[in-house]
Amino acid sequence: MSENGKVALVTGSSRGIGAELALRLAADGFKVVVNYAGSAGPAQQVADRIKEAGGAAIVAQADVADPAAVVALFDATEQAFGGVDVVVNCAGIMKLAKIAEFDDQTFDQTIAVNLKGTFNVCREAARRLRDGGRIINLSSSVIGVRLPTYGVYIATKAAVEGLTQVLAQELRGRGISVNAVAPGPVATALFLKDKSPELIERMAKMNPLERLGQPEDIARVVAFLAGPEGGWVNGQILRANGGMC
Ligand code: NDP
């Protein structure tokens, strides 16, 4: 690993897409902050793998839904590495039920993590990112397929896309790009949980490449946006879904 002198903070990087992203950004030379909410052990394992490969990483617990915890997360990042250049908003949850059956508590929880969490992190990133930085938010391609039971999840991700496009405009003059990546189904706990093998197979075939996305597929796209080759892409929603929609 050859260091690039930059620092990346990846929320929700104890598992799934975020963990793969943390490893990829470290391999690209970023010092990485591995954030988690509850999975301390897996987060530590991600950081250990980075350090064993010669990179630099710390773990930092913070529930992104809590604004004070997000401020503390940026404080910890600055204390450890002196600043922050790239922020990836990967923390997210997905609870599925028809709108008629969706309960208030699950609605509030989904909004708190996916929308308020992304807002909390974007606000702090807007205040503290070094010039030339990158903000990358995770949306979802399911917005385009309008699947029943995904209504509340889709509502949060549509809101994230709105925040992304406006923030890109608001950061004019600082050389900071703000984009969202919208994966199709990716083989992580978030997608696979509670689905039958038949449903997983059917959803894998929704795209013409006829397979599920893997965390590595998404990590490559985020690495492009975070790295020197992606600098001219700004205010965009990049749908990385094998051509599903
Ligand atoms: P996983 O469930 O595999 O991982 C979720 C990660 O988010 C974990 O590291 C988890 O940490 C963290 N997290 C959850 N809640 C919080 C919180 N309140 N504060 C901080 N961290 C939190 O999900 P994926 O990797 O699949 O998803 C990552 C992102 O990609 C999400 O935003 C998701 O909506 C999006 N996405 C995923 C798709 C898929 O098919 N997998 C498709 C399209 C978009 P901990 O374990 O510590 O709670």
CA of 202 to the centre of ligand 1 (A): 22
Q: Is 150 a catalytic residue?
A: no
Which of the residues 74, 119, 153, 191 is marked catalytic?
153
Residue 2: the pLDDT is 82
Q: Is residue 116 part of a domain?
A: yes
Residue 146: the pLDDT is 93
Q: Give me 178's structure tokens.
A: 């703000």
Q: Is residue 233 part of a domain?
A: yes
Residue with CA closest to ligand 1 atom 10: 12
| Helix, strand, or coil (residue 149) | coil
Q: Is residue 69 part of a domain?
A: yes
Distance of alpha carbon 84 from alpha carbon 160, whole angstroms:
21
Q: Is residue 205 part of a domain?
A: no
Q: Is residue 191 part of a domain?
A: no
CATH code at position 232:
3.40.50.720
Residue 36: the pLDDT is 98
Which residue's entry shows tokens 């490969």?
53
Residue 73: the pLDDT is 99
| Helix, strand, or coil (residue 136) | strand
Distance of alpha carbon 90 from alpha carbon 9, whole angstroms:
10
Q: Is residue 41 part of a domain?
A: yes
The total number of structural domains in the chain stands at: 1
Q: Look at residues 200, 39, 12 and name the one whose alpha carbon lies nearest to residue 114.
A: 12
pLDDT tens, the chain, 245 aa long: 689 999 999 999 999 999 999 999 999 999 999 999 999 999 999 999 999 999 999 999 999 999 999 999 999 999 999 999 999 999 999 999 999 999 999 999 999 999 999 999 999 999 999 999 999 999 999 999 999 999 999 999 999 999 999 999 999 999 999 999 999 999 999 999 999 999 999 999 999 999 999 999 999 999 999 999 999 999 999 999 999 99
Q: Which string of DSSP letters, residue by residue, matches 205-232?
A: TTSTT-S-B-HHHHHHHHHHHHSGGGTT
Determine the residue type at 57. Answer: A
Residue 75: the pLDDT is 98
- Reading across the β-sheet that carries 57-61, which strands appear in turn? 57-61, 31-36, 7-11, 86-89, 134-138, 177-183, 237-240
| Atom number in ligand 1 closest to CA 94 | 34
What range does the domain containing 28 cover? 7-184+213-238
Q: Is residue 81 part of a domain?
A: yes
Q: Is residue 139 part of a domain?
A: yes
**Residue 194 main-chain phi, psi, to 5 deg:** 65, 15
Task: Report yes or no: 231 and 237 within 8 Å, Cβ to Cβ.
Answer: no
Task: Report yes or no: 178 and 135 within 8 Å, Cβ to Cβ.
Answer: yes
